[in-house]
Amino acid sequence: MMKSKLYLSRPGIRIPEDSYDNDRIIEMVKGNYRGNRVAWVAIEAAIRKILHKCNTRVRYLDFDTDSRVAGYAADAARDCVAKNNTNLENIDLVIFGGVARQYFEPATAMEVCTQLGITETHAFDVTSACVGHLEAIQTACAYLNMHEDYRTALVVTAELTQEFLSFDIQSLTDLAYKVAGLTVGNGAAAFLVSKSPWPTGCLDVIAADTYSMPAHWELCQVPIRGTFQSASTELMRLHKYIIPRLEVVLNRLGWAPNDVAHYCFHQPSEFMTQKVLSKVGADLGRGVYTHHIYGNNASATIGIVMDYLLSQKELNQGDRLMLGSAASGFTMATIAGEWVC
């Protein structure tokens, strides 16, 4: 349970301009293919089958080498500030929670602050694969509880895969480790966490949970020198560990699965999101689905999913939400709360 009242704002997001449908992605793979035609037919058929199962249709990507991870995060922050009718003058803490980065040091949060014109604050990074943004939000909550003089935190993330996605697939074996990358989309998201409610609506954060199983760390990686690889079949099997962690949070709060109005979950595929909801005992219609619109946005997913939810529905006072993600590592993170109008 939260030590004191903390509120999560409406998110701000930024999505790249260039959209890539499945045909365009397959053409990129075909352009890198060096084998014979017969083998290519099998590879293409397998790609289409997997994308269909995931309900992957479109993703947005930015391959411009001049594009900045911090720039995307700053744009999402500006959108967040505007949507919540506030300004950046009273930010006490800035945390960047993304996977993507363009240098090892300093913290990407420093560049984000500079792009936003914030000259003095407390800024640092939190990284934990696709749960990074949720981990950063939990970290912000902890800091606000620890520091009486901290009132508001800006928590941002941005995912630009750029050269870290590989379209060099020469066999079905290659495909097994690289196909997850073909579902990935770029994007950025930002939230504000505050000790006071946001007048435009916000989430009263009442519970959080994070749980890691480090023995599975090798299943999904972005090497320092290399491209994204994921043993997708083995990784997806770990979904069986997600359900007990969700039940821990639900039981802690005394909520039944269908007491939650909206599940804003990470989107590795819509099939997997539905499978988790089904096994936990929640109606599938309570899930918010964006994979078919944006693909897998890694750590930026939760903000993008919640932004989509708020664009489609008007939430009511007391609506219960659960934000959740699983990530390579293997780590699961959850935040639960009630909507305040």
Q: What are phi and psi of 96, to 5 degrees?
A: -100, 130
Helix %, strand %, coil % for the chain, to 5?
45, 25, 35
Give 263-286 pLDDT, tens digit per residue: 999 999 999 999 999 999 999 999
Q: What is the pLDDT of residue 1?
A: 53
Are 325 and 265 within 8 A, CB to CB?
A: yes
Determine, yes or no, domain membership for 169.
Answer: no
pTM: 0.96
The domain that contains 332 carries what CATH number? 3.40.47.10
Output the CA torsion sign for 48, 50, 54, 59.
negative
Q: Which is nearest to 163 in space by CA: 71, 231, 225?
A: 225
Determine, yes or no, domain membership for 176.
Answer: no
Check pLDDT > 80 for residue 3: no
Are 206 and 144 within 8 A, CB to CB?
A: no
Determine, yes or no, domain membership for 308.
Answer: yes
* Confidence tier at 115 by pLDDT (50, 70, 90): very high
What domain count does the chain have?
1
Reading the block at residue 337, the tokens are 């709360």
Alpha helix (H) ranges present in the chain?
Answer: 22-32, 37-54, 69-83, 108-116, 132-146, 172-178, 232-237, 242-253, 270-280, 291-294, 301-312
For residue 304, the enclosing domain spans: 202-340
Determine, yes or no, domain membership for 214.
Answer: yes
Pairing of strands 187-194, 12-14: antiparallel
Give 280-311 pLDDT, tens digit per residue: 999 999 999 999 999 999 999 999 999 999 99
Q: What is the pLDDT of residue 2?
A: 55
Give 24-45 pLDDT, tens digit per residue: 999 999 999 999 999 999 999 9
Determine, yes or no, domain membership for 178.
Answer: no
Residue listed under structure tokens 């930010």: 91
Q: Which is nearest to 318 in space by CA: 206, 243, 219, 235?
A: 206
Determine, yes or no, domain membership for 332.
Answer: yes
Query: Which residues make Cβ contacts (< 8 Å) with residue 140, sequence separation at least 6?
Result: 93, 95, 153, 155, 193
Give 89-112 pLDDT, tens digit per residue: 989 999 999 999 999 999 999 999
Residue listed under structure tokens 């750590």: 299
Determine, yes or no, domain membership for 114.
Answer: no
Determine, yes or no, domain membership for 93.
Answer: no
